[in-house]
Structures are given as structure tokens and as C-alpha cells.
Chain A
């Protein structure tokens, strides 16, 4: 074999040895990242859904989740949760998006991760919390200030013209009737049942 061929053969042989060796050692891609998405305010659909409170918009959180999902260098997501929860649909939207993520999601509950925030956490692959973290509160609350008595005390009359049986449901200017109360309560019960079932399914718990 000529000298040139022998040298080239030697080079190829060395390349082969290195190639076989490179399959053994794992060289991490230094561009790999973990995305950290913070949820440390009450959650709502829009930024001003809850008056006088800073809030996280579900849209913002979902946008961040989408970015992390589409970024090939992001290998996992940490949800850093320090939130008492928020509105029903906003919490559900985020929880559904977390569940559909194509990458591992870990929820890290800091001081508090309750109600809607816990719903979101339960949708992730893993939950990490401190023994003193406040979690759970798997329930629904609906409340408002009712001024009917106050208006009466000041001899103020509230007039309204409506159509539809429950059109004025939840108006702060009139007392809630028994029927209206029962109707609202049934809605809360429905939401609560859904909430409980979702969390149970997410956490592999039997009801």
C-alpha cells in the first residue's frame, strides 16, 4: 500500500475510534435551558379583573408557556408559584395549557399555592413545596358587597327594568332572593365539582 494510502487509512481509523468514543461520552448542549415562569399574583383573564389588586393575566402566562414550548433550547419549565389563585376560567386556561405542554413542567410552590394556583400546579408533572407552604383550598368563592340596606337607610330607591329571570343576578343594589341564591349556589357547586375532579385526575387520586 502506498504511503499516502496508509496515512489516509490511519486518519480514517483514528476518526472511527473517535466516533465510537463520542457515542460513549455525553457532551451536553450548553444552550440547554430551563424556563422559569413566575406566578406570584392573583390570576385573572385580564389585568384589571380584580379591582385594586395586581394580577397576572392568564394570557401572559400562556404566552410564556408557548414561548418555552417552541424554544428548542428549553428542555423543561419551572412554574414558580406564589399565588392565592384567581378567577375560574383564567385558572382553567392556564392549567389546560400546562397539561398540554410537550416538555416536563415542575411547579414550585413557595409561600402559597391555593385554589386556582393549586389547580395549575396539579396540572404539572411534579409539585415541589415547602412543608410550611399553604396549598389546597380546592373550592370556589363568589362574593360581592350588597348595598340594599344602606340605600334604604338613606331613603334611596333603586329602580331597574329588566327582562329575563336572572338578569339582575348579583346586583349590589338589591337583596339576593332565595331563588337567585340557590341558582348561584348551584353554579358554584358545578364549578367546584369540576375543580375537584380535575385536581383528583391530575394527582391520580380517587374521589
Chain B
């Protein structure tokens, strides 16, 4: 029996996870840096929507760029966590993803990574755990994964 199975895993504290996430965000921003940022000058969502309606070419490129950024973010987290149980941030902060049921699968890492396409959405996801006094985000719960210290 592996030694580490004799000892229960320590749940990764919030600060480690937060720092790991920041490092990962930096890595993702480096990856998508060749995509130019759209600097819209519209003051609110309504005028932005109207601007995009009136400029279908720009709207198409904007949607395409946003879609690529989302795919890259999902792939970064899902693939690296599946392959190595860690992303760059988690590796540096010495934490990793662990499956609560079977061997960690790609579908599990994909599901748990869904909310990482937006920091705001991730925060709401994390609040679930806080409200329920659990160390797991909602999408970690439904993917049967957790983050532990290495």
C-alpha cells in the first residue's frame, strides 16, 4: 500500500489556491497575448451591443477571439490537471487535483474547470463551498474532485 494512502490528504488552503490561480491567469494571458485586445469605447452594454450590431465584421472577430480565449482557458486547466494533476500555478504552490472516486479523468478536470473561464463566475462557484463550509467549489463537487497539498 502506498505510504501516502496511509495519511489523509490535507486540503489545500485558500491562499495557496488563490496564488496558484493568479499564476495560472498570468500563464493564460501570455498564451493569448497574440490576440489583440478589443478596446471598445462604448460606455455601456447597450451601446456596445448596438455598435456590434452595426459592425458585423468587428462583432464576428470579437466573438471569435472571445471563443478562442475561453477554449484556451478550458484546455489549459483541463488538460494540465488531467495529465499532471497540476497546472503551472498548482505546481509552484505545491497543490494538486485529486479525484474522490476513481482515477482522475479528463471529463472530471473539464467539468471542474468550466467556471475558470471567468474570475467572477469562479468566485461565485467558490462561494458555494464557503456557504456550505466545504473546501470544494460547486463544480468540484459535481466533478468529484478536490485540491490537496502535495
* Top 4 closest pairs, chain A to chain B, by CB: A22-B34, A19-B34, A27-B36, A14-B31
Partner of A11, one of B68, B86, B88: B88
Q: B139 an interface residue at 8 Å Cβ cutoff? A: no
User: Would B27 and A18 count as touching, CB distance under 8 A?
Assistant: no
Q: A15 an interface residue at 8 Å Cβ cutoff? A: yes
User: Would B84 and A7 count as touching, CB distance under 8 A?
Assistant: yes
Min distance, Cβ B134 to any Cβ of chain A, angstroms: 28
Give residues in A with beta carbon < 8 Å to B.
3-4, 6-8, 10-11, 14-15, 18-19, 21-22, 25-31
User: Would A18 and B32 count as touching, CB distance under 8 A?
Assistant: yes
Given known A-B contacts A3-B84, A7-B80, A7-B84, A18 and B31 have beta carbons under 8 A apart: yes
Chain B contact surface mostly: helix
User: Would B31 and A11 count as touching, CB distance under 8 A?
Assistant: yes
Among A14, A26, A29, which residue has the most Cβ atoms of chain B within 10 A?
A14
Min distance, Cβ A203 to any Cβ of chain B, angstroms: 32
Partner of A3, one of B27, B31, B57, B86: B86
Q: Which residues of B contact A30 (CB under 8 A)?
A: 38-41, 58
In the complex, what distance in Å separates the CA atom of A29 from the CA atom of B36?
9
User: Would A7 and B35 count as touching, CB distance under 8 A?
Assistant: no
Q: B25 an interface residue at 8 Å Cβ cutoff? A: no
Q: Which residues of A contact B36 (CB under 8 A)?
A: 22, 27, 29
User: Would A25 and B61 count as touching, CB distance under 8 A?
Assistant: yes
Q: Which residues of A contact B84 (CB under 8 A)?
A: 3, 6-7
User: Would B91 and A25 count as touching, CB distance under 8 A?
Assistant: no
User: Would B33 and A3 count as touching, CB distance under 8 A?
Assistant: no
User: Would B65 and A7 count as touching, CB distance under 8 A?
Assistant: no
Convert B61-97 into 0s and 1s, putting 1 for each residue whose CB lies closer than 8 angstroms to a CB of A. Answer: 1001100100010011001100010111001000000
Partner of A4, one of B40, B57, B65, B91: B91
Q: Which residues of B contact A21 (CB under 8 A)?
A: 34, 68
Among A7, A21, A22, which residue has the most Cβ atoms of chain B within 10 A?
A7
Q: A7-B86, A10-B80 are in contact. List 16 more A-B contacts (CB 8 A).
A: A3-B91, A7-B84, A7-B88, A10-B79, A14-B72, A15-B30, A15-B33, A18-B33, A18-B34, A18-B35, A19-B34, A21-B68, A22-B36, A25-B64, A25-B65, A30-B39
Of all chain B residues, the one with the shortest Cβ separation from A27 is: B36
Of all chain A residues, the one with the shortest Cβ separation from B35 is: A22
In the complex, what distance in Å separates the CA atom of A14 from the CA atom of B72?
8
Partner of B68, one of A6, A10, A18, A26: A18
Q: Which residues of A contact B38 (CB under 8 A)?
A: 27, 30
In the complex, what distance in Å separates the CA atom of A26 from the CA atom of B57?
9
In the complex, what distance in Å separates the CA atom of A29 from the CA atom of B57?
12
Min distance, Cβ B20 to any Cβ of chain A, angstroms: 12
Of all chain A residues, the one with the shortest Cβ separation from B79 is: A10
Beta-carbon contacts under 8 Å, B33-49 to A: 33-36, 38-41
